[in-house]
Amino acid sequence: MKKLILVTAILFGSMTMAQELNLTNDYELIENKVIEWRRDIHQNPELSNREFKTAEKIAAHLKSLGMEVQTGVAHTGVVGVLKGKQPGKVVALRADIDALPVTERNDLEFRSKVTSEFLGEKVGVMHACGHDTHTAILMGVAEVLSKNKDKIKGTVKFIFQPAEEGPPPGEEGGALLMVKEGVLKNPDVDAIFGLHINSQTPVGVIRYKSGGTMAAAQRFVITVKGKQSHGSQPWSGVDPILISAKIIDGLQTIISRESELTKEAAVITVGKITSGVRFNIIPESAEMIGTIRTLDYDMQEMISQRMKEMVPTIAKAYGGDASVEITATTAITYNDPELVDQMLPTMRRVAGQENIQTQNAVTGAEDFSYFQEKVPGFYFFLGGMTPGNTESFPHHTPDFKIDDSGLLLGVETLTEMSLDFLNR
């Protein structure tokens, strides 16, 4: 009972550092800057591992705040270190900075008209997942905390990460390479926070899940070999397109008949199939590329094993050969339960009790998970949909939009979580 009284007194009987500082004026001054940064970055998107101008903009801002700044981290990443006046723990804050090969189709005045090359094709480039908002929010947090560094006990490390959407084939990148290069060291990070804007969550609302919150992702490539023949004489060849169709059908039975879906969700998706050059030729080979999403590592192992068994067996049954190569792209995004419990009072104070909502795990993936494998982390979702809007567009689509009025809550939440973590 005495312990409970003591904890209650600590939590409710004294003000947190964020409350003592009263940052209301700082937040009011930063909002327009954050919106301006976001719109500029949105108009000038860059693909993974090619975020050169974005990195320059970030680095210039951090240097103007008097931070120690490191550039060229994991190719184009930027890291800023803000040291408080007093020694203490180290908290890291992360934003991803890359865009997607998507041609923007909405009516925004600041929509992207940028084009580039992706996998040998000319493509439009768009911040179709909201990374522009993440970057601008973290730049805003950096400015607010820099103004108050004399009151900070400890250190804040700002991590602007490239290639969250995955590095180009044949290249390393993203959070995995940042960790490999030691981004969580010197100074050693005690905890890391990150957020993701969501186009289908109303502005003002924050959603989270303790424990496993986003899926591990794997990329697979299936190569099918048949025998080329004239399209009018299929009996003289082995059709790799037919075999591919049978393989796709078979893979779905791993999910629908072999995966314990009451335990956790799992997905196998073939996203690309390439084969043939002409309507009347049965081609010699086919290639399929896709993704596996899992929220449980035992299920991940089972699915991978069954795919390796099933793919060549199906191909052999139809007279062909096939192989499958599976590589990891992200781990499970796992929110440390103890850290979540510690930070919920801060989030509720900032956003309001009614606006902090729990959610189910999602099969989307995040390489923020690689940071969480090394240190406790908390990753949450920030509302970006105009309240009362009857139409919202999913991420990774040409019509994707975010309401700028939701950005300030992101700044406030990350700022005050950092202060409360360091100073409690």
Extract the tokens encoding 330: 């992200």
Extract the tokens encoding 262: 């009451």
**CA pair distance 407, 84, nearest whole angstrom:** 25
Is the model's pLDDT at 95 over the cut of 90?
A: yes
Q: Which residues, 6 or more positions from 305, have their beta carbon under 8 angstroms from its beta carbon? A: none
Which range, of 4-18, 260-274, 408-422, averages the lowest pLDDT?
4-18
Average pLDDT over the chain reads 95
Residue 391: band (very low, low, confident or very high) from pLDDT cuts 50, 70, 90: confident
CATH code that applies to domain 2-209+359-423: 3.40.630.10
pLDDT at 17: 66
Q: Are 35 and 136 in contact (CB under 8 A)?
A: yes
- Every domain range in the chain assigned CATH 3.40.630.10: 2-209+359-423
Residue 380: band (very low, low, confident or very high) from pLDDT cuts 50, 70, 90: very high
Does domain 216-329 sit in CATH 3.30.70.360?
A: yes
Residue 16: band (very low, low, confident or very high) from pLDDT cuts 50, 70, 90: confident
In this prediction, residues 392-396 reach a mean pLDDT of: 94
pLDDT at 389: 84
Is the model's pLDDT at 8 over the cut of 60?
A: no
In this prediction, residues 262-291 reach a mean pLDDT of: 97
Taking only the tens place, the pLDDT of each residue in 129-168 is 999 999 999 999 999 999 999 989 999 999 999 999 999 9
- Every domain range in the chain assigned CATH 3.30.70.360: 216-329
Taking only the tens place, the pLDDT of each residue in 223-270 is 999 999 999 999 999 999 999 999 999 999 999 999 999 999 999 999
Which range, of 253-267, 293-307, 360-374, 380-394, averages the lowest pLDDT?
380-394
Taking only the tens place, the pLDDT of each residue in 64-76 is 999 999 999 999 9
Is the model's pLDDT at 5 over the cut of 60?
A: no
Q: pTM of this prediction? A: 0.88
Is the model's pLDDT at 1 over the cut of 70?
A: no
Is the model's pLDDT at 346 over the cut of 90?
A: yes
Chain centre to alpha carbon of residue 301: 23
Q: What are phi and psi of 392, to 5 degrees?
A: -135, 145
Residue 100: band (very low, low, confident or very high) from pLDDT cuts 50, 70, 90: very high
pLDDT at 10: 45
Q: Give long-range contacts, CB 8 A cutoff, 24+ apart: 22-27.
A: 23/144, 23/148, 23/412, 23/415, 23/416, 26/144, 26/147, 26/148, 27/144, 27/408, 27/411, 27/412
Which range, of 8-17, 296-305, 328-337, 397-406, averages the lowest pLDDT?
8-17
pLDDT at 9: 41
